[in-house]
């Protein structure tokens, strides 16, 4: 047995490695890659079977007050045509999504000051009132704890906020000085304290990222113990300061998905659109490496191309039914099965605690 296989077996058995062992596994070549993916896939199937969960994505605003150097919807991008969906637009997306079998809606947008807490609560409450059997996820950035509490009381139960990088020096290279890595991380702990199912994650291969940075990200995530882990390769956008940098690595992203599956066996891990953008079969590869979530787009087709986080984003012209049908075929072709479920987090965890039964959430 090779040294790398011994590390993979140790990770599968213990759920952890030393910093040096993680670094070695992250920096290894193609050797034993299939073995790592097989171990990760076996772990996810032992918990979730072949089930893959749908998340109906609604990108409701591409305005953002932040000027992150990697992001296409950064406020400094004056070339981007901006848009905001109305409450009625969002509810229409939910209506179509519900008809297609979605039982989780993800409201995602830039940090847009136009949408006040009152407006977000009104939208969340309207969705919850119309579709009480559905889970509502928010992905709208950094807020104060009181805002998160208000959204929770309105009916939101999940929140996605990628920490992007746990290393402060690296964070400063990706963001303007007005943004704080300490505040971003505190937001995640505030969300957990309120009772949200919390998702975080990172960009793989972002400018200036080192293997040591990724190990630091892993240690931060162990401290947070997230319910969801969203990772994808860094992809460039023409109208950002990082336009000349290389895209992140598909192979390293897949390797990290597998490592996260073995370290966080009960996590919900999406196989992202970014994976499908960097490789035609990227999403299928993500599932085979341990991912168990896909996020088809429910946004109106007229606006999808304007939610331009990175260049060459796929599925911007597909209708909601086309997105659903395409992903269902891809998931089935990869050997898995899409299920329409909301309570997929209510699994027994290793520590003996269970997640809330979302089908009984008020």
pLDDT single digits (tens) 111-160: 999 999 999 999 999 999 999 999 999 999 999 999 999 999 999 999 99
**Could you give the CA distance from residue 29 to residue 283 in angstroms, rounded to a whole number?**
21
The pLDDT of residue 332 is above 60:
yes
| CB-based burial label for 63 (10 Å; 0-12, 13-18, 19+) | middle
Give the per-residue pLDDT at 302.
87
**Could you give the CA distance from residue 265 to residue 44 in angstroms, rounded to a whole number?**
7
Give the per-residue pLDDT at 353.
42
The pLDDT of residue 356 is above 70:
no
Average pLDDT of every residue of the chain: 92
**DSSP per residue, 12-80:** HHHS---HHHHHHHHH--STTHHHHHHHHHHHHHHHHTTEEEE-EEEEEE---S---TT-TT-TT-TTS
- Structure confidence at residue 300 as a pLDDT band (50, 70, 90): confident
The pLDDT of residue 70 is above 50:
yes
For the sheet with 293-294, list strands across it. 293-294, 51-54, 337-339
Q: Using the 8-state DSSP alphabet, how is residue 360 labeled?
A: G
- Structure confidence at residue 308 as a pLDDT band (50, 70, 90): confident
The pLDDT of residue 37 is above 90:
yes
**Could you give the CA distance from residue 328 to residue 52 in angstroms, rounded to a whole number?**
10
The pLDDT of residue 11 is above 80:
yes
Of 70-79, 195-204, 297-306, the least confident: 297-306
Sign of the torsion formed by the C-alpha atoms of 25, 162, 198 and 50: negative
The pLDDT of residue 352 is above 70:
no
**Could you give the CA distance from residue 29 to residue 58 in angstroms, rounded to a whole number?**
37
The pLDDT of residue 342 is above 70:
no
Which tokens hold the place of 125? Answer: 């409450």
pLDDT single digits (tens) 228-286: 999 999 999 999 999 999 999 999 999 999 999 999 999 999 999 999 999 999 999 99
Give the per-residue pLDDT at 40.
98
pLDDT single digits (tens) 12-27: 999 999 999 999 999 9
Candidates 10, 80, 19; CA nearest to 239 is 80
Give the per-residue pLDDT at 325.
86
Give the per-residue pLDDT at 340.
78
Give the per-residue pLDDT at 305.
86
pLDDT single digits (tens) 269-280: 999 999 999 999
Give the per-residue pLDDT at 224.
98
- Structure confidence at residue 344 as a pLDDT band (50, 70, 90): low
Give the per-residue pLDDT at 360.
32
Q: How much is the average pLDDT of 66-87?
A: 97
């Amino acid at each position: 047995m090779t040294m790398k296989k011994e590390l993979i077996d140790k990770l599968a058995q213990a759920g952890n490695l030393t910093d040096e062992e993680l670094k070695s596994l992250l920096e290894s070549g193609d050797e034993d890659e299939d073995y790592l993916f097989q171990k990760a896939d076996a772990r996810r199937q032992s918990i979730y079977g072949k089930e893959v969960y749908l998340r109906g994505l609604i990108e409701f605003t591409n305005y953002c007050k932040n000027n992150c150097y990697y992001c296409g919807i950064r406020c400094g991008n004056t070339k981007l045509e901006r848009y905001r969906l109305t409450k009625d637009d969002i509810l229409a997306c939910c209506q179509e999504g519900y008809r297609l079998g979605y039982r989780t809606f993800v409201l995602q947008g830039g940090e847009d000051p136009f949408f006040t807490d009152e407006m977000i609560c009104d939208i969340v409450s309207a969705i919850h009132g119309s579709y009480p059997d559905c889970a509502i996820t928010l992905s709208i950035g950094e807020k104060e704890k009181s805002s998160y509490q208000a959204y929770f009381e309105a009916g939101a139960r999940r929140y996605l906020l990628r920490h992007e990088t746990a290393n402060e020096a690296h964070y400063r290279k990706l963001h303007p000085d007005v943004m704080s890595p300490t505040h971003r991380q505190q937001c995640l702990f505030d969300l957990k304290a309120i009772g949200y199912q919390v998702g975080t994650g990172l960009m793989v291969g972002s400018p200036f990222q080192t293997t040591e940075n990724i190990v630091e990200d892993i240690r931060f995530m162990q401290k947070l113990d997230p319910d969801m882990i969203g990772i994808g390769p860094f992809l460039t956008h023409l109208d950002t300061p990082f336009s000349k940098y290389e895209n992140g690595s598909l192979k390293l992203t897949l390797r990290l998905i597998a490592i996260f599956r073995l370290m966080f066996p009960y996590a919900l891990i999406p196989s992202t659109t970014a994976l499908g953008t960097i490789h035609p079969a990227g999403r299928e590869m993500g599932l085979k490496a341990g991912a168990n979530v896909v996020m088809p787009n429910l946004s109106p087709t007229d606006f999808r191309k304007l939610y331009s986080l990175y260049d060459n984003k796929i599925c911007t012209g597909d209708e909601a039914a086309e997105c659903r049908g395409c992903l269902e075929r891809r998931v089935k072709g990869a050997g898995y099965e899409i299920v329409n479920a909301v309570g997929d987090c209510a699994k027994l965890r290793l520590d003996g605690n269970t997640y809330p039964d979302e089908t009984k959430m008020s």
